[in-house]
A = this chain, B = another copy of it.
Amino acid sequence: VASKLPPSHFQKSPWTWVCRERKCTKLDSTQVPPTETGHPLNVCKLNCGEYGSLLPKPTIKTEIGAGFVPFYPNNVKFEKLEGPSPRTKRLLNASVDIFKSYMLQSVSRYAEDGEDPFPENSTEYDRLSKNIVKVSIAIAHPFDKLTLNTDEGYLLSVQQQEDGATVIVTIQANTYFGARHALETLSQLIAYDDSKNCLQIVDRALIQDKPIFRYRGILLDTSRNFIPVPKLRRLIDGMSYSKLNMFHWHITDTHSFPLYSKSVPQLTKYGAYSPKQIYTIEDIAGLIDYATIRGVKIVAEFDAPAHVGNGWQFGPSAGKGELAVCINQEPWTEYCVEPPCGQLNPVNEEMYKILSEVYKDMLDVFDNDVFHMGGDEVNVKCWNSSSTITQYLTNHGKDLSQESFVELWGQFQIRALKLLKARSKDANMTAIMWTSDLTTKEHIKQYLDKKDYIIQIWSEGRDPIIPYLINEGYRVIFSNYDAWYFDCGYGGWVGGGPNNWCSPYKGWQQVYGNSPIDIYANATSQADANQAMKQGLILGGEVAMWTEQADGSSIESKIWPRAAALGERLWSNPTTDWSAAEIRMVANRQRLVDRGLDADQLQPEWCRQNEGLCHA
């Protein structure tokens, strides 16, 4: 909220901006040559440079006119909203309401000061209030939920009419999701003009657009630290602004179990950090609806058999034996990669019953077509420390070698997939698994069929597992930690540090430059990479916001605006580097803040106001 400025202190800014050589150049408004026109910065940015303020940049065609049409927010009229089903229409109306709120948000600073943003007693007001923006939206197919096969493309045209006062906007898309993306782009062709106290839309635009990668995600871990539901909604908001579409909800882990299971309420009773730090069915269903309107699919993860612990202690007292072993066991350095330890007990039949119940409760609310099963960082010593497990192996004629435990793990996984599929209403359900000892060339084909599993890669970009998996025909999602882990760079949290395991911090330029296609092509060839894309093996990627050292107080500035760089990397698959996107990244950061996100700052504001002058 801006401080209310005493009238005596208000001085009209002497500055204006003209577009020169694709950069908005700051000039004293008394010094603008007669051949040029100055505009407020945000207005200049709408059409200066090939892509104006658009992020991600469209992929097929981008034409933006050089002029502007001023208008007031109440003069955006949605004339024709054609959706071939009631559900499509309802969603479209919801997106239209969101769009209208963008229009009002950008004039909010005046509203906060209590000044009437639209003084209705001026000739200027009368003139501008005649300008109307008329929007028509046509969607070809009735609503179907977002999947990895959804067509998210759209056609957007903006055209000032000859009368000068009318701007016709038309949107065409095959699906609701394409139309929603078109509205997002439209909002990026509009800016607040503080010199005229109105909005400005570019006078012309023709945008043809569709994403290169289908999977464009953010992982958020809500177990190391609980993230309140309102913050999850804000995450989804932010994703929609960057056309990101997959919210990978890493909802449970060893540290806490916040997922309320109707069938197994002991899990949150013993596993939640506190009785109020849980996610109810209603919470989850509400978030899924919220996400769908905004073009986001929620991909649930139940990480197993490792990354399980707190919440599962109730087995013995319930007569079910140990459901998980080495829960919080010390010394943790022996039994897991970070405290606390814990892994499911793969030889306890009761465990599988409960696992099946958890799958049931999750699939009752989460999407059934894609489900993340986790599968990372199983620690052999942990299972080896349990006499029931070692006894089981011995009884089955196995030694206690690494291989025996990997086999045990593999069998667990085969069984878990069966249980999961038995609960799924989607016969073609696909599971996702992390790269791990189970996904090595020695093991993967024995346990993880490529028809059933997508593999999420978290190793370094140079790891040979990446070309191996793709060469073998596995569909993959990239999350290589050396560019896309957002928790990297802070202090140490186990011991004195000085810095955490995947340091240093990954700046937006690194996030932007991490190209899945290039990673694979560098290990094989460009031709191989093109083929892999054709075959749909490189689904896309995801940045990971692990929360050992983050929670609701700080995730927003850690995720944004860096995740917007991922947004362009995966939607547009740019062939230029970060420097060609810098001005738009900075403009986009301002837009995120204007829309209420606590996005971190990338540069001094001076750099945004003096485009191109903060160079190396």
Complex alpha-carbon distance, A265 and B194, angstroms = 21
The segment from A82-90, A150-158, A406-414, A506-514 that touches chain B is A506-514
Q: How far is the CB of A275 from chain B (nearest CB, A)?
A: 5
Task: Give the size category of A's interface with B.
Answer: 35 or more
A602-B510 contact, Cβ under 8 Å, with A228-B3, A614-B339: no
B-contact 0/1 string along A493-514, CB 8 Å cutoff: 1111111000111111110000
Complex alpha-carbon distance, A496 and B579, angstroms = 8
- Is the CB–CB distance between B278 and A5 below 8 Å? yes
Partner of A553, one of B270, B547, B557, B606: B557
CB interface residues, A 599-616, toward B, < 8 Å: 599-607, 609-610, 613-616
- Is the CB–CB distance between B3 and A283 below 8 Å? yes
A224 on the B face (CB < 8 A): yes
Residue of B nearest to A278 (CB): B9
A100 on the B face (CB < 8 A): no
A22 on the B face (CB < 8 A): no
Complex alpha-carbon distance, A497 and B582, angstroms = 13
Taking CB atoms, residues of chain B closer than 8 Å to A554 are 557, 598-601
- Is the CB–CB distance between B499 and A504 below 8 Å? yes
- Is the CB–CB distance between B492 and A550 below 8 Å? no
Counting chain B CB atoms within 10 Å of each CB, which of A11, A340, A508, A599 scores highest? A11
- Is the CB–CB distance between B615 and A494 below 8 Å? yes
Taking CB atoms, residues of chain B closer than 8 Å to A548 are 603-604
Taking CB atoms, residues of chain B closer than 8 Å to A553 are 556-557, 593, 597-601
A126 on the B face (CB < 8 A): no
Taking CB atoms, residues of chain B closer than 8 Å to A601 are 225, 547, 549-551, 553-554
Taking CB atoms, residues of chain B closer than 8 Å to A290 are none
- Is the CB–CB distance between B550 and A600 below 8 Å? yes
B-contact 0/1 string along A504-540, CB 8 Å cutoff: 1111111000000000000000000000000000000
- Is the CB–CB distance between A225 and B505 below 8 Å? no
Complex alpha-carbon distance, A490 and B614, angstroms = 16
A372 on the B face (CB < 8 A): no
- Is the CB–CB distance between A493 and B614 below 8 Å? yes
Q: List 26 A-B contacts (CB under 8 A).
A: A2-B276, A3-B229, A5-B276, A5-B280, A12-B275, A13-B274, A225-B601, A256-B604, A491-B505, A491-B509, A491-B510, A492-B507, A493-B604, A495-B615, A495-B616, A496-B579, A496-B616, A497-B507, A498-B509, A499-B505, A547-B601, A553-B557, A553-B593, A553-B597, A554-B557, A554-B598
